[in-house]
Structure 1
C-alpha cells in the first residue's frame, strides 16, 4: 500500500456510502404609522375635490352605479335630479386609467329628500388611489425593484400628476394594513424545524447629498416555502438574536461569523452551514488539486442524490 491518499478511485471511496433509497419502492407521502389629516386644497386641473389631476391623454373608464331606490317597491316615488361624480386613479398593465364613477342623486317625491348612491368602498379611506393602482405600485417597488421616484416619472410621462410624497404616504399606509399578514407569516416561519437565513446589502436612507446608507435585508426561509424579509441597519449578530430568539430547530446559513456567535448564545439551536458555499471551494480547488477536489465533489454529489430522493418523497424528516 502506498502513502498516496489519492491512489484509490472515486468508486472505491464512495462504495461505503449507502445508495439512495429507491423512490419507486418507497411509499410516497402524498409598523404603526400615524397619519395626520391631509389638507384639502383646490388644485387646478382636478375634476373633483379629491386632489387627483390628469390631462386629456389619460383614458377614463366610466362606471355607472345604479340607485337601489329606483328598483324598489316604491320606485315610482323617486326621480333622478342630478349626477355626482367620484374619480379614482386605477391601473392597467403598462398604464394608468381614470375610473369615473357616476352616481345618481335621487329625490323622493313625497318627502322631497335627496339621496345619493355611495361610491364603492376603497382600501384606503379618503384616498383617490384604487386598489389596482396600489397593488401595481407595490409590485413595481418590491417585486420589480422600481423605486418610487421612477414610478413618479412614469406617471408624469403618462399624464398623471401625483406628488412623490403622496406615493410614499400610500406605501406607508398599505404597509400598515399588511403588517398583520407579515406577523402571522413570520410566526408560521418560526414554527419550522429547519430555517435558512442570509443577509443581503441594500441602499436605504440618505447619508448625505449623493450618498445612501448601507443597510441589510435578512430573509428567513421556512419549511412551508414561506420567506420573510427582515430589515436591519447593520449586519451585526443582534438582528439574528432579535428575530430568532430561542428558536430550537436547525438554522442553515453561510459561513458568516454572526450566525456562529448567535449559536453560542442559543445552545438549543443546531447550526448547519450551507453545502453550496462549502462546495464552491472544492470547485475552485480543481486546478490546484484535481484528484482531491474530485473526490470531495463526488461525496457531495452523492449527498445531493440522497437529498433529491427525500425531497421527491416529500418526506423531509425521519421520525422515531
Structure 2
C-alpha cells in the first residue's frame, strides 16, 4: 500500500499509473466476488430444489450437509475479499437467537481484563460490569463450557471506559472453541462420520446442534485452513522424489440424484525423506491434466504405476520410476489363483530384490545406492534373464504372458531405483496413505460437489500429514485453529505438520 508521503513524491504520470493499477486490482477483485456470489446463488437454488428430487433420506441429508458447507465457505471467501460493513438493525433481526448452553455442563471461566487498570489521565479505573460469552469446548469424551468474562472498567474522573479486546478465533461470533471444531473436522475427515451422525451423537449428550450448523463451521474452517494446505503443497514440490496415485470417489450430480466418478489424487514424499507429508487433490476426472496442474514446473522423479495419464509428464522432463510391487502383484495373483509354478519361481526372484531393500532401509542415500548396485543389480539382472527365457515358453495371450510382458515392457522404470538411492522400489507408501480414505468411502458414500471434494482433500491433507509425523491429530488441529487467526502470513509454515511441535 502506498502511503500519503509516498504519493506526494509521484509525478502525474506515476499517479495515473498507480490509479490504473489500483482500478485493475479492484475490478479483478469485484469479478471474483461476482463469480463467488453467482456460485452461491446456484447452490441456494439447488438446496431449495433438492427436496423435490428423487433422493433417498440419507442421500438428501448428506446433500444438504454439503450445500450448507459450500454456502458458508463461499460466504467466508466473499467476506475476505470485500470490506465488512457493520451489521444494521435489519441484519441483527435476521440473526437467529441461540439457545443457551445446558446448565449442567461444567464451566471454566477465562477472564479478559486490561493489562493496566490505571487510566491515561492517571486515575484508577473502577470495575462497573462485564460481558460474558459462552463457547462450547470439547476434549475427547468430555464437553465443557468456557465462560469468557470481559470486565468493564471506567475512570470516574474522565469517564473513560476500558475493556480487554476479544481474542480472535476461527468463528468469532459462534459457540464453538477450537477444540470442538477440531473434533468435528477429525470425526468427519479422519473417522469418516457424516455431520448428521455427529449431530445425533451431540443430541444424546443433551446438545442440540443441527447438522446445518456443523456444516457452516466446517465451511469456515475449510477456507481458513486453505493457506496452510497451499504452503504444504509448495514445500512438498521442493522434494526431489514424489509418489503419486489416485483413487475413484463418487461425486453427486445435483438435479438427478446420480453420481459420476471423480478422483482423489495423492502426492507424498517418500518414506526415506526427512519430510513426511501427503497432499490430496480432488478432481472431477482421472485426466492427466490434473496431475500436470498440481505438479506444475516440478521436474523431479515421480514414482507411479503404469497409468497413461502420467506419460505426458515424463515427455516434459520428469523422471519416471515404476512400482515393483505392481509387477510382483501380477505373479502373486497367478500363484494365489492357479498355483502356477512359474509364478512361484518369479515370486522367489522378486523376494531377493525386497530382501536387499530391507537391508538398506536405514542407510543414507549413497550407502543405499552402493548396496543396491552390489546386491540388487545382479538380482535384477537374474530376474530379467529369467523373464526373457520364460516368455519364449508361454503362449501369447495367456495370463502368464501378460504378467511377464508387463515387467519386461516397464523394465527401465521398474529398475530406476537401483541407480538412485533416494528412489523407493515401489509405490506402496502412497497406496498406504490412500487406504484409510478408501475404507472411509463406505461411510460417506459420495462427495456432494467439487468444492466439497476439494475441501475434504484439504482437511485430510493436514490430518493425514499430522498422522504421518506421529502427532495426535486432534491436538494438532486444535492448536492450528487456535493459533491461525493471529499468526502472521510469514509464519504460516510454523504450523505445517512436519514442523509443528505440541505446546
TM range (shorter): 0.7 to 0.9
**For the Cα contact (< 8 Å) 2:267–2:279, is it kept in 1?**
yes
2:231 paired with 1:231: no
**For the Cα contact (< 8 Å) 1:206–1:213, is it kept in 2?**
yes
The whole-number CA distance in structure 2 between the counterparts of 1:172 and 1:220 is 24
Once the two structures are superposed, the pairs formed by residues 1-320 of structure 1 within 5 Å of their partners are: 33-35=77-79, 39-40=91-92, 41=94, 43-44=96-97, 46=99, 53-70=100-117, 77-208=124-255, 211-223=258-270, 224-260=275-311, 262-263=312-313, 266-286=315-335, 288=338, 290-315=340-365, 317-318=420-421
Q: Secondary structure at the match of 1:111?
A: coil
**Residue 231 (structure 1) shift:** 0.6
Q: Secondary structure at the match of 2:78?
A: coil
**For the Cα contact (< 8 Å) 1:107–1:113, is it kept in 2?**
yes
Which structure has more relative contact order (CA 8 Å, sep 6+)? It is 2
Q: 1:146 to 1:100 in 2, by over 3 A?
A: same
The whole-number CA distance in structure 2 between the counterparts of 1:105 and 1:256 is 65
Offset from partner CA, 1:35-54 (integer Å, 9 cap, x none) = 497844464554xxxxxx43
Alignment RMSD: 3.2
Which TM-score applies when normalising by structure 2? 0.49
**For the Cα contact (< 8 Å) 2:249–2:263, is it kept in 1?**
yes
**Residue 285 (structure 1) shift:** 1.7
- Residue matched to 2:427: none
**Residue 227 (structure 1) shift:** 0.8
**Residue 100 (structure 1) shift:** 0.9
The whole-number CA distance in structure 1 between the counterparts of 2:168 and 2:101 is 22
- Residue matched to 1:50: none
- Residue matched to 1:9: none
**For the Cα contact (< 8 Å) 2:292–2:313, is it kept in 1?**
no
The whole-number CA distance in structure 2 between the counterparts of 1:44 and 1:248 is 55
Q: Identify the range of structure 1 (231-240 vs 107-116) with the bigger mean alpha-carbon deviation.
A: 107-116
**For the Cα contact (< 8 Å) 1:54–1:161, is it kept in 2?**
no
Offset from partner CA, 1:131-190 (integer Å, 9 cap, x none) = 222222222222222222222332333333444333333223222222222122212222
> Greater helix share, 1 or 2?
2
The whole-number CA distance in structure 2 between the counterparts of 1:195 and 1:163 is 41
Q: Secondary structure at the match of 1:219?
A: strand
Q: 1:162 to 1:250 in 2, by over 3 A?
A: same
Q: 1:278 to 1:290 in 2, by over 3 A?
A: same
The whole-number CA distance in structure 2 between the counterparts of 1:74 and 1:247 is 61
> Greater strand share, 1 or 2?
1
| Structure 1 ranges of 4+ moved more than 6 A | 71-76
Q: Secondary structure at the match of 1:195?
A: strand
**Aligned residue pairs: how many?**
281
**Residue 209 (structure 1) shift:** 6.3
Which TM-score applies when normalising by structure 1? 0.74
The whole-number CA distance in structure 2 between the counterparts of 1:119 and 1:158 is 29
Q: Secondary structure at the match of 2:249?
A: strand
Q: Identify the range of structure 1 (295-304 vs 163-172) with the bigger mean alpha-carbon deviation.
A: 163-172
**For the Cα contact (< 8 Å) 2:302–2:321, is it kept in 1?**
yes
- Bigger radius of gyration: 1
